[in-house]
């Protein structure tokens, strides 16, 4: 009888500790990338002026984890005019965050509403988009990205990783 208790106690402890450890390890980690004001390159495709097919391209020097150099690059493409209201448009995003090692990347996608006469989201706004993948140290990345445009013109991207 005593022998079986010695076996049961460690098994019981493992049954309690394992789920707690797994739950703790599944908490998302957050990678923060920040930078100053953004100047996008506008390519007017399709009808003249704001219209479906227009592309905004970006290459932005930034700071990543630990203040190390990073870059944000990508495109915003207009896919809907006067939606959800007149003077608004929907743009899809393909944004890539490149870190110290060029192989270490996180890509976000998704869509957001913009003013048809503004290059970027307004100051004092937050945009949520999905993380669609990663490579290198971020291989298999998934989760969501929170992009904050502060009142002072600075930007912060909080990349919430599920892995």
Q: Is the pLDDT at 6 greater than 70, yes or no? A: no
Mean pLDDT score, 37-62:
95
Torsion on CA atoms 139, 145, 149, 155, rounded to nearest 10: -20
pLDDT confidence of 2, banded at 50, 70, 90? low
Q: Residue 109 and residue 115: Cα distance in Å, rounded?
A: 19
Single pTM value for the model = 0.81
Pick 134 or 5 by higher pLDDT.
134
pLDDT per position as a tens digit, 61-110: 999 999 999 999 999 999 999 999 999 999 999 999 999 999 999 999 99
Mean pLDDT score, 26-46:
90
Indicate the SS3 state at residue 15. Answer: helix
Q: Residue 88 and residue 121: Cα distance in Å, rounded?
A: 11
């Amino acid at each position: 009888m005593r022998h079986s208790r010695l076996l049961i106690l460690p098994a019981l402890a493992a049954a309690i500790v394992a789920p707690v450890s797994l739950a703790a390890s599944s908490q998302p980690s957050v990678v923060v990338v920040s930078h100053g004001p953004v100047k996008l390159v506008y390519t007017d495709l399709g009808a003249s002026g704001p219209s479906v097919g227009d592309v905004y391209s970006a290459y932005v020097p930034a700071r990543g984890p630990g203040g190390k150099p990073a870059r944000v690059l990508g495109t915003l493409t207009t896919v809907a005019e006067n939606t959800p209201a007149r003077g608004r448009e929907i743009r899809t995003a393909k944004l890539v965050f490149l870190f110290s090692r060029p192989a270490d990347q996180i890509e976000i996608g998704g869509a957001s509403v913009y003013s048809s006469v503004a290059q970027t989201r307004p100051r004092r706004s937050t945009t949520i988009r999905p993380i669609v993948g990663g490579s290198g140290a971020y291989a298999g990345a998934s989760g969501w990205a929170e992009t904050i445009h502060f009142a002072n013109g600075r930007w912060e991207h909080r990349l919430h990783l599920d892995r």
